[in-house]
Amino acid sequence: MYVAGHLWRAERLESTNTRLDLADDYEMLLWNCVHVATHYFNAALHAARVTEERDDYPASEANYYYVRGGANNGWKVTWAPFGDLVHSHIPGSSVPALPTEPEGDLALVLADLRQVESYRARFVRGNQPYHVADGVSCLEACERTKNLALKLIDNAGGRSG
C-alpha cells in the first residue's frame, strides 16, 4: 500500500473513534487504535524505505498479498517480498514480524504500536477488567505513534513528495 493510502485509512478509523465512548465502546475503540497505529507505522516504514510501498494489500499469511488482476472480483492472492506489516509480532511464533528490527525514531514508533496492541488480547479478545484509564493510555500511545510517524514521513518528503 502507498503512504497516502495508509494515512487515508488511518484518518477514517480515527474519525470513527470520535463517535465511540471510552466506557461503552471501549472494545472497538482499542481495536481501531491498533489499525490506526499500524497504518501510521507502515507509512513511516515506507517513507524511511525500510519496507516497500506498493499497490497491494496484506493477506493474513505473512508475505502474501492481494494484488489486482485476479478473476475473483479483480483480486488474487500471491506471494511477494515484505510490504505492509500486519502485526508487530506473531503470537506463538519465533518468526519475526518484520524483516529487520527498526532503529532510532522508528523503534520508538514501534514501541508505542506494541503498547497499543497489548490492549487487544486483554480487553477485546479477553475479558480482563477494563478501566477508562486503560482506554486513555491506549489513545495516548496511538497519538504518539501518529505524531512521530507523521514527523518521519514529512522529513522524508512522504506527504508532499
Question: Given the rule CB under 8 A, which residues bind other proteins?
Answer: 1-2, 5-6, 8-9, 12-13, 15-16, 19-20, 24-25, 27-28, 31-32, 35, 56-60, 66, 75, 84, 86, 124-127
Q: How far apart are CA 88 and CA 75, in angstroms?
A: 26
Q: Is the CB of 75 or the CB of 82 nearer to other proteins?
A: 75
Q: Which C-beta is closer to other proteins: that of 53 or that of 112?
A: 53
- For residue 23, the minimal CB distance to other proteins (Å) is 11
**Minimum gap (Å) between residue 154 Cβ and other proteins:** 20
Q: Which is nearer to other proteins, 13 or 138 (CB)?
A: 13
Return d(Cα 104, Cα 96) in angstroms, integer: 18
Would you say 76 or 103 has its CB closer to other proteins? 76
Q: Minimal distance in Å, beta carbon 31 to other proteins?
A: 6
**Distance of alpha carbon 147 from alpha carbon 153, whole angstroms:** 10
CB of 28 to other proteins, least distance (A): 5
